[in-house]
Amino acid sequence: MEELAKKARLLMGIVMTLAGVVVVLFVTLIAYHLNPAAFRASPVAENGSTPEASAPVATVPTAAVWHPRSIETDLPAGERGKQIRYGYQLISETPRWLGPHADEPALRLAGNELACKNCHLGAGTKAGAISFVGVAQRFPQFRGREGKMGTLEDRINGCMERSMNGQELPTQSAEMQAMVAYIQWLSEDVPEAKLAEYKGLPAFEIPAIKADTVQGKAIYEAQCQACHGTHGEGIRQPGGGAGYLYPPLWGADSYNHGAGMRRVLTAAPFIKANMPFGVSWENPRLTDEEALHVAAYINHFERPHKANTAEDFPDKKLKPVSTPYGPWEDPFPAEQHQYGPFPPIVDYYQKTFALKKTN
């Protein structure tokens, strides 16, 4: 009798435990349904610290939490670390080191007071903003604009002469070597899956329409002017520091007419993925058409002129379709190369030369 009661109590215990487990699971399920974010492991930074309590919980699965190397936490020790840091400074505070008013006269090689990071956001660590992550491995490469193989140093000098409206930096200079070291360091140990995400500009559906500067002006006034100014002149660093808090988009101190950003089909995806400042390629604010209109608007104003651009692209077939200056290897008028509609030009190169154009 005693034995039977014992067994019954045991059975009752098991049943109660199981019921308890079911209740706990059920409550957890409801809680998860109400606030799934609370159930994700909080990301741990590479230096082992957890982010501040106020930081939003990451909305990506932890397995995908990879980030480019940080100058704050990941710099190697010794001479190499110093060189990489200098490269980072040159790219972040370019006017201070290479601008027209730089301390060292021999280094006044940039013609404007832009910084590399004004276009290569996060000093080359932001995806969707022509990042430097993974770039080093892609050089040397064939360069259509020059019609020959080019090194990473040549590519940097392309931006010196056009985006920075200036002159080439000597390949052996400490400054060139430091920028290359920084870009190489950012390009090391990048997971395969991240290389595509960090490469260049995000995919952009070329709208079938012609860009309209009247609509572009309205978008500019509503979404850009507060930072970039009524006349695209930007806002200088407060306190008289070199360069800009918000860089100019046209006029005498902007990139020249031979720069990549001058092409509407390069500027539009950049703007869509990065502007107004704070948006990302995954979370844009402008539509493809709006980005096209505003890109054409900022690029239809006067800006410095680059000499000898007729010599660019010795093989004219390789010229991007929105290159606004001729000559071109096609029958389309100059105006269409500047404002579109671009799909007919893209189709022409596909049919005539079997070339797939994206910008």
Q: Name the site residues for ligand HEC (rule: CB under 6 A).
A: 91, 94, 114, 116-121, 130, 135, 138, 155-156, 159-160, 163-164, 179, 200, 223-224, 226-228, 246-249, 255, 259-261, 266-267, 271, 275-277, 294, 298
Cβ contacts of residue 141 below 8 Å, gap of 6+?
149, 150
Report the nearest approach of ligand HEC to the CB of residue 197 (Å).
13
Distance CA 182, CA 144 (A): 25
Q: How far apart are CA 97 and CA 110, in angstroms?
A: 9
Beta carbon of residue 286, minimum distance to ligand HEC (angstroms, whole number): 6
d(CA 317, CA 325): 14
Q: Report the run of H or E that residue 125 belongs to, with start and end.
A: none
Question: Which residue lies nearer to ligand HEC by CB, 57 or 215?
Answer: 215
Q: How far is the CB of 220 from ligand HEC (least distance, A)?
A: 6
Q: How far is the CB of 144 from ligand HEC (least distance, A)?
A: 9
Q: Closest separation between CB of residue 48 and ligand HEC, Å? A: 28
Comparing CB distances to ligand HEC, the nearer of 147 and 276 is 276
Q: Considering beta carbons, is residue 29 or 222 the nearer one to ligand HEC?
A: 222
43 vs 154 by CB, closer to ligand HEC? 154
Q: Using the minimum distance from each CB to ligand HEC, give the nearer residue, 57 or 194.
A: 194
The nearest distance, CB 79 to ligand HEC, in angstroms, is 21
- 133 vs 330, beta carbon nearer ligand HEC: 133
Partner residues linked to 141 by β-bridges = 150
Quick check: 40 and 62 in contact, CB under 8 A?
A: yes
Which SS3 state, helix, strand or coil, does residue 202 take?
Answer: coil
Q: How many CB atoms lie within 10 A of CB 176?
A: 20
Taking the complex as a whole, the smallest distance from the CB of residue 249 to ligand HEC amounts, in Å, to 5
Q: Which is nearer to ligand HEC, 91 or 190 (CB)?
A: 91
Kindly report each contact of residues 94-99 with a partner whose C-beta sits within 8 Å and lies 24 or more positions away, as own/partner: 94/164, 94/243, 95/242, 95/243, 96/241, 96/242, 96/243, 97/175, 98/164, 98/166, 98/169, 98/175, 99/242, 99/243
What is d(CA 339, CA 321) in angstroms, rounded to the nearest whole number?
Answer: 10
